[in-house]
Amino acid sequence: QVQLQESGPGQVKPSETLSLTCTVSGGSVSSGSYYWSWTRQSPEKGLEWIGYIHNTGSTNYNPSLKSRATISIDTSKNQFSLKLSSVTAADTAVYYCARGTILTSADGTWGQGTMVTVSS
Amino acid sequence: DIQMTQSPSSLSASVADRVTITCRASQTISTSLNWYQQKPGKAPKLLIYGASNLYSGVPSRFSGSGSGTDFTLTISSLQPEDFATYYCRQSYSSPGTFGQGTKVEIK
């Protein structure tokens, strides 16, 4: 059974870059049947999709992030990562990684989430 | 972006009640609609994909219907473990957008 686990700093300073990693166990990020995504949740904005990556390296991002997000994949470590640059307090949220099935376009497996606070 | 509007925002119900939550899209999304359940402090869990397909392991008391712009999630007989917040999400066009959520509380 596939499991996902987010990791990364719980606090980031304004204007710096938020970096999170999602480690996948029980499955492979190299599988062509899935995409690997990031979603965040805050009281102000609710659930907000950030973007996804496929094992081919193709990506798709939410335009609302104004090109600040970058998602990458490391097949050797069975991980994928999120970098969000120039963060502000509005980026404070719980960040979730997830696995979605290409056939259904639905995120069926999620990590437990990690809280990131943007504060000096 | 496609706007997703859920109603009601919250509801109170008793165990064994039949509960219906609606989700309306700002434009047609065919059947590209997923439903999630979220409990406090936990990640969302997929319940329904493609508007009406039950995800693996999800109890059969959950069902979904609809197409175009109007969708419903029905819980046929509410169980204690079903008290949670429910979200719809469209996967028709990018960016995939979520509804604001419907909180199901104990009456």
- Going from the C-alpha of A10 to that of each of A19, A58, A114, B17, the distances in angstroms are 10, 28, 7, 41
Q: pLDDT at residue A7 above 90?
A: yes
Give the model's pLDDT for residue B2: 97
Q: pLDDT at residue B40 above 90?
A: yes
- Characterize the bridge pairing of strands B62-67 and B53-54: unpaired
Give the model's pLDDT for residue B43: 98
Residue B5 amino acid letter: T
The SS3 of residue B8 is coil
Q: pLDDT at residue B53 above 90?
A: yes
8 Å CB contact of B100 and A108: no
Q: How many CA atoms lie within 13 A of A96 on its CB side?
A: 24
Q: pLDDT at residue B74 above 90?
A: yes
First-to-last CA distance in chain A? 39
CA of A70 vs chain B CAs: smallest distance (Å)? 15
* Interface residue ranges in chain B relative to chain A, Cβ cutoff 8 Å: 1, 32, 34, 42-46, 49-50, 53, 55-56, 87, 89, 91, 94-98, 100-101
CA of A29 vs chain B CAs: smallest distance (Å)? 20
Q: Name B21's Cβ contacts closer than 8 Å, sequence gap at least 6.
A: B6, B7, B8, B11, B72, B73, B74, B86, B102, B104
Give the mean model confidence (pLDDT) for residues A76-84.
97
- Going from the C-alpha of A100 to that of each of A4, B11, B20, B69, B107, the distances in angstroms are 12, 30, 26, 23, 35
Q: pLDDT at residue B8 above 90?
A: yes
Q: pLDDT at residue A62 above 90?
A: yes
Give the mean model confidence (pLDDT) for residues A42-67.
95
Give the mean model confidence (pLDDT) for residues A30-47.
96
Q: pLDDT at residue B36 above 90?
A: yes
| Long-range CB contact pairs, A40-44, < 8 A, 24+ | A40/A91, A40/A93, A40/A94, A40/A95, A40/A96, A41/A93, A41/A94, A41/A96, A41/A113, A42/A92, A42/A93, A42/A94, A44/A90
Confidence of residue B47 (pLDDT cuts 50, 70, 90): very high
DSSP state of B80: G
What is the C-alpha to C-alpha distance for residues A79 and A4, in angstroms, rounded to an integer? 9
Computed over every residue of chain A, the mean pLDDT equals: 96
8 Å CB contact of B43 and A105: no
Confidence of residue A66 (pLDDT cuts 50, 70, 90): confident
Distance from chain centroid for Cα A98: 7
What is the C-alpha to C-alpha distance for residues B85 and A83, in angstroms, rounded to an integer? 29
Give the model's pLDDT for residue B56: 95
CA of A1 vs chain B CAs: smallest distance (Å)? 12
8 Å CB contact of B89 and A47: yes
Burial class from Cβ neighbours inside 10 Å (0-12, 13-18, 19+) for residue B34 reads: buried
Q: Name B22's Cβ contacts closer than 8 Å, sequence gap at least 6.
A: B6, B7, B70, B71, B72, B73
The SS3 of residue A76 is coil
